[in-house]
């Protein structure tokens, strides 16, 4: 499946045709799951990752607008997330950590070298995605020319199974290095559990 922003008219019409009367979302008739475009995100500060071995997603975390869009590290029962694109942006301006994560202007500054020279790993009973930090950080972000998501070989995060997103940093992080990891794709939810 292609990225959300590159669907053709026939593909869009196919989704439109999958909407069953009385609902608002397309339903895959074979699986009985609704389909919607979703971008899940996780934000924080690089220097706080050191005490949790680089783990960006922790089971104890609650979803909080501006910080993360998923509660914990397990998708709800009946929900699967098919990831097609990834992006990591930063705000390394002075006082961003003092002011708080919800004040960060992600994409305002380039990625710190400790992230660009490190790795990002997504795991669910084995690595489903692994790449260098420089591969998924926009390279022209400071000039405002490149905020694009990076297309990836699609992978599926399943329900009822813990997953992890881990930043392996190439050195020690300083204060005022805010990050935002965004996973874009398609969420499939059991029709009886989906919001309509």
Residue 145 is given by DSSP the state -
Q: How far is CA 113 from CA 14, 19, 47, 118, 179, in A?
A: 44, 46, 13, 8, 13
pLDDT of residue 71 exceeding 60: yes
pLDDT score for 141: 47
Distances (CA, A) of 44 to 13, 28, 158, 173, 181: 38, 35, 24, 12, 9
**Residue 5: is it exposed, middle or buried by C-beta count within 10 angstroms (0-12/13-18/19+)?**
exposed
- State what percent of residues in the chain have pLDDT above 70: 80
Cα distance between residue 132 and residue 162, in whole Å? 23
Residues 125-151 have pLDDT tens digits of: 999 999 999 988 876 544 455 567 888
**Global confidence as pTM:** 0.83
Distance separating alpha carbons of residues 27 and 13, to the nearest angstrom: 13
Which DSSP symbol is given to 177? -
């Amino acid at each position: 499946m292609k990225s959300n922003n590159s669907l053709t008219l026939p593909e869009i019409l196919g989704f439109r045709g999958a909407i069953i009367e009385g609902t608002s979302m397309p339903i895959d008739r074979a699986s009985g799951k609704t389909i919607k475009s979703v971008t899940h995100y996780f934000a924080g500060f690089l220097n706080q990752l050191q005490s949790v071995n680089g783990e960006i997603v922790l089971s104890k975390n609650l979803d909080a607008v501006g910080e993360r869009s998923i509660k914990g590290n397990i998708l709800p029962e009946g929900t699967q997330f098919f990831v097609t694109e990834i992006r990591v942006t930063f705000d390394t301006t002075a006082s961003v950590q003092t002011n708080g994560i919800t004040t960060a202007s992600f994409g305002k500054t380039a990625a710190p070298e400790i992230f660009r020279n490190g790795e990002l790993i997504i795991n669910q009973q084995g690595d489903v995605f692994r790449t260098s930090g420089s591969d998924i950080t926009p390279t022209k972000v400071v000039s405002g020319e490149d905020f694009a998501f990076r297309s990836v070989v699609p992978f599926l995060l399943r329900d009822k199974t813990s997953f992890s997103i881990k930043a392996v940093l190439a050195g020690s992080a300083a204060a005022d290095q805010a990050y935002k990891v965004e996973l874009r794709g398609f969420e499939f939810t059991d029709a009886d559990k989906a919001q309509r």
